[in-house]
A and B are shown apart, each in its own frame.
Chain A
Amino acid sequence: DAKTTQPNSMESNEEEPVHLPCNHSTISGTDYIHWYRQLPSQGPEYVIHGLTSNVNNRMASLAIAEDRKSSTLILHRATLRDAAVYYCIAKSGNAGNMLTFGGGTRLMVKP
């Protein structure tokens, strides 16, 4: 999997949008961009993934740069329950089926 770089932490106010950035400059053409989040005392939870086009689901949106060297996870209205560590993973579509986690971004949501 390609290396990803994320800020260690970010803060947001409740009910405001949050943009979580991720750099993956060495991503290959077949690597998917996955986002997982981990709430305290729980295992990671799938959020969203994409290859080239922007993606939306009920949890979040994923905006992928045209050159695919970066992406942004967008939470449209942060809630206190969104406070978690968010992991960006550039997963190889070829050999190796595991997810390779980095340090992630700890998101703090203020009421």
Chain B
Amino acid sequence: DTGVSQDPRHKITKRGQNVTFRCDPISEHNRLYWYRQTLGQGPEFLTYFQNEAQLEKSRLLSDRFSAERPKGSFSTLEIQRTEQGDSAMYLCASSMTGNGYTFGSGTRLTVV
């Protein structure tokens, strides 16, 4: 068990470009969550999967954001046409139903 892995750790992109982040959860965890965190704030919920089904999406998740978990294992979060306001830490977490959440170390996105 290597915990929750996120790739890349850092991403710098130009405004208007598309970016994709990957999350590998703990293998036996059926739930996977994406959060966004800006400096000095607590993490904000974006979306959550149970197995491969995306069960909930925050209103923060605009049309430019899409998340997938195709086989109920790893997940990707894509941001299209990035804006400077998208600069943040993107955190992934996984859990087994009813238990504590394990977070990854996050992907820090900087849009220039």
A interface with B by C-beta (< 8 Å): 34, 36, 41-46, 49, 85, 87, 96-104
Contact = CB atoms under 8 A, between A and B. Distances in A.
A102 B93 CA distance: 17
Contacts, number: 50
A99 B45 contact: yes
B33 A98 contact: yes
Contacts of B33: 97-99
Nearest to A43: B103
Contacts of B42: 85, 87, 101-104
B26 interface: no
B8 interface: no
- Please classify the interface of chain A as helix (H, G, I), strand (E, B), loop, or mixed, using the class held by over half of its residues: loop
Interface residues of B, number: 22
B21 interface: no
B100 A98 contact: no
A9 to B, nearest CB: 12
Nearest to B103: A43
Given A43-B91, A46-B100, A46-B101, A100 B45 contact: yes
30 contacts: A34-B100, A36-B101, A41-B105, A42-B105, A42-B106, A43-B4, A43-B91, A43-B93, A43-B103, A43-B105, A43-B106, A44-B93, A44-B101, A44-B103, A46-B100, A46-B102, A49-B100, A85-B42, A96-B56, A97-B50, A98-B33, A98-B45, A98-B56, A99-B43, A99-B45, A99-B93, A99-B101, A100-B45, A101-B35, A104-B42
